[in-house]
Amino acid sequence: MGFSVRGLAARQLADYRAGTPGSFFGEKDQPHLGLDDAYAVQAEVARLRVAEGESVAGYKVGATGPGTREQFGMDGPVRGFVYEAELHPFGATLPHASYANLAVEGELAVRLGDDAEIARVFPVIELHNYVLRSETPNLQELVANSGLHAGVVLPDTDGTGWRGEESLDGVLRVEINGRTVDEGPMLGVPGGPAGSVGWLRRHLEAHGLALRPRQFVLTGTPLGLYPVRPGDAVRVAAGRLGAVEATIVP
């Protein structure tokens, strides 16, 4: 394989915390990672973070919609971890300097119930370290960097009770400084939220993991990824499901 999963995971975590995520992928003599290797690195990073006292809040499903295919030429889905320490409340002020080329996505998330099935659905702002170092964007780098995930801004309520896909016939909209930069159908992700959760459940089982009661799942988005700057006000709206807001500061 030409590399140590533990060694690369330790480096990935150190780079992430230093604000220089994924430096390994910018090296010309890097050994090749397969997709399973990338997931092993991601899982080892999660193990290290939990061993240091962090908590896994749930998972993200990414690279699902046409926006990702158009921007990066990559087709997933892929999975990443979501951590409690990186969940932010409605109206959060987010320091731009704390991220590496901060970018946002608007998407739907779900909260699982006591039976680990979908209980509630709501819009979120997903935060990303928008850094891809490989000469050609690839799923291995995306996966090893946990889908570029860097946090989530939550709405001020825990959303609407789940009534199935037929209740999600509205529009998902991303606004920056009061201007709509992207919009599309809430069900733009293949299979909708239920399809994403179903894929994630099967994927986790294949990797010796499982969804747990009351976890949180980012279900992916049909929309694009948008870099933001200090002073930007971000809003994601999803019709009757509500809206979520955040402000970017220096």
| pLDDT digit string, tens, across residues 87-122 | 999 999 999 999 999 999 999 999 999 999 999 999
Q: What is the pLDDT of residue 31?
A: 77
Is 19 part of any domain?
no
The residue among 64, 70, 74, 107 whose CA lies nearest residue 195 is: 64
Tell me whether residue 22 is in a domain.
no
d(CA 59, CA 42) in angstroms, rounded, equals 12
- Give the pLDDT score at 136: 83
Q: Within the chain, which residues score under 70 in pLDDT?
A: 1-2, 65-76
pLDDT, residue 75, reads 65
Confirm whether 16 is domain-assigned. no
Q: What is the pTM of this model?
A: 0.93
Q: Which domain CATH number covers 152? A: 3.90.850.10
Domain residues for the domain of 138 are 55-249
Asked if residue 4 is part of any domain, the answer here is no
The vertex-192 CA angle with 189 and 194, nearest 5°, equals: 140
**Residues facing residue 112 across a β-bridge:** 118
Does 222 map to a domain?
A: yes
Provide the phi-psi class of 222: left if phi over 0, else alpha when psi is between -120 and 50, else beta: alpha
**Cα distance between residue 189 and residue 235, in whole Å:** 20
Give tens-digit pLDDT for 52-82.
999 999 999 987 766 666 666 666 699 999 9
Spatial distance between the Cα atoms of 170 and 180, rounded to a whole number of angstroms: 16
pLDDT at 249: 98
Examine residue 40 and state whether it is found in any structural domain, yes or no: no
Q: Distance between CA 172 and CA 162 in Å, rounded?
A: 17
> How many structural domains does the chain have?
1
DSSP 197: H
Q: Is residue 21 part of a domain?
A: no
Q: What is the Cα 95 distance to its own chain's centre?
A: 18
In a domain, 7, yes or no: no
User: Token pair 């962090």 is at which residue?
Assistant: 54
